[in-house]
Amino acid sequence: MAALHRQKRLSNALFALPYLVVFAALLAFPLGWGVYLSMQKADLFGLYGFIGTNNYVRVLNDPLFWQAVRVTLLFVATTVPVLVGLGLFLALALNRRTRGSAILRGAFFSSTVLSVTIVTLIWRFVFIPGDGLLSIGFEAMGWEPIGFLSTRGWSLFSVGIATVWWCLGLPMILILAALQQIPADLYEAAALDNASRWRMFSRITIPQISGTLILVAVIQIVMQFQLFGQAQLMTNGGPNGSSRPLVLYIYRTAFENWDVGRGAAASELLFLIILAAAMLQFWVTRRANR
């Protein structure tokens, strides 16, 4: 009997094999290979010897790395709440069964399907000096135009605006789906109790969709930590690295400077940062819900 049970359990495991193979090939092996590379003197064309933690020491002693960490943390800390908040607001506003809502849902989601190249091109038309939309507007108002893409502070702000516009669709749709799962009788019962709209929102809506809000926040934290294309195409990380996120730092190090070992070390550190941030977010939200 026990032997049959063991055999059954082994055959059950076979069902997970396809996923495990993909997981091992596309996640576990690259992660392990990345750790191995980070301890090598390496460029794209070969490995030139084991150097222990030297790459990590170089990365951790590099002021540019810490600048990129600060830029990335600031970016995540500002864009994620905006994405979750705006996504919630839009989902609440569009949670109706009308044709207008359906059209607007499609309109707000449409930016998400664009490639990063198109998104940055559109926003460059808005932000570039001279012929840019904002520049023309500023000149029409008699104000001094701002170099949105080339001024410290404004450059990261501009990348953030483009990112929120691009990424807003997914949070909105996920939260909308969660809102539509809330049983209508909860609201009917609350209405019978003469509950205010705010009370219904804070005591029914938010608790009912809290799981989705956590999911959206974690997805956005992980996504925004990986900011790359918008920063590279809109500001090239400038001026003076003030809009250079960690992934652009890694890319420059590994592909432009041919220092793949050091780039791999920075990648492993980014992995740890994302993991810690996502776990922290998860832990804090769970604790608050308890």
Partner 1 sequence: MKRLLLASTAATLFATGAQAQTTIELQRFFGACDADYGDVTDVSSAVGECGIITALINDFEAQNEDIDVEVTTVEWPGYDQLNAQLASRNAPDVVSMHYSVISDYTSRNLLEPLDDLLAEQGIETSSFTDAALAGVTKDGQIYALPFDNWTMLWHLNMNLMEEAGLVDDSGAPILPSNTDEFFEHAATFEEATGKPYLVQILANETAAYARLFYTFMLQQGADPFSDPTQIDLMTPEAKAVVEFLKKISDEGATTTDMDYAAAVAGFGSGEGGIGVNGTWLIGDYTAQSEEEGNALSDGYTVYPIPQLFATQDATYADGHGWAVPRNPGRDDDVTAAIGKLMAYLAENDFQWARTGHLPAVASVFEMDEFQSLPHRDNIAEVAQTGQSLNPQVLRQFSIQDIIGEEFNSAVHGDKTVDEALEAAQNRINDLLANL
Task: With contacts defined by CB under 8 A, name the span among 73-81, 82-90, 192-200, 230-238 that binds partner 1.
Answer: 230-238
Binding status of residue 156 toward partner 1 by CB under 8 A: no
Interface residue with partner 1, options 101, 109, 239, 282 (CB under 8 A): 239
Using alpha carbons, list the distances in angstroms from residue 224 to 103, 154, 285: 27, 18, 19
Dist CA 276 CA 287 (whole Å): 16
Binding status of residue 53 toward partner 1 by CB under 8 A: no
CA dihedral 95, 98, 102, 108 (to 10 degrees): -60
Using alpha carbons, list the distances in angstroms from residue 262 to 57, 61, 229, 268, 279: 9, 12, 21, 10, 26
Binding status of residue 44 toward partner 1 by CB under 8 A: yes
| Helices vs. strands in the chain: H and E counts, helices first | 15, 2
Binding status of residue 193 toward partner 1 by CB under 8 A: no
The dihedral region occupied by 288, where left means phi > 0, alpha psi between -120 and 50, and beta the remainder, is alpha
| Count of residues near partner 1 by CB under 8 A | 32
Q: What is the maximum alpha-carbon separation in the chain? A: 87
Q: Are 152 and 240 in contact (CB under 8 A)?
A: yes
Provide the sign of the torsion angle of the four alpha carbons 185, 190, 192, 198, taken in this order. negative
Q: For partner 1, which is the closer residue by CB, 114 or 134?
A: 134
Torsion angles phi and psi, residue 94, rounded to 5: -105, 10
Binding status of residue 238 toward partner 1 by CB under 8 A: yes
Q: Binding string to partner 1 for residues 82 to 111, with x set by CB under 8 A, is what? A: ------------------------------
The residues in 243-272 that bind partner 1, with binding defined as CB under 8 A, are 251-252, 255-259, 262
Binding status of residue 152 toward partner 1 by CB under 8 A: yes
Interface residue with partner 1, options 67, 101, 236, 285 (CB under 8 A): 236
Binding status of residue 147 toward partner 1 by CB under 8 A: yes
Dist CA 52 CA 207 (whole Å): 49
Q: For partner 1, which is the closer residue by CB, 110 or 257?
A: 257
Interface residue with partner 1, options 35, 43, 122, 204 (CB under 8 A): 43
Q: Are 118 and 112 in contact (CB under 8 A)?
A: no
Binding status of residue 149 toward partner 1 by CB under 8 A: yes
Task: With contacts defined by CB under 8 A, name the span among 77-85, 148-156, 165-173, 212-220 that binds partner 1.
Answer: 148-156
Interface residue with partner 1, options 46, 49, 52, 142 (CB under 8 A): 46
Interacting residues toward partner 1 by CB under 8 A: 41, 43-46, 58, 64, 128-131, 145, 147, 149-152, 235-236, 238-242, 251-252, 255-259, 262
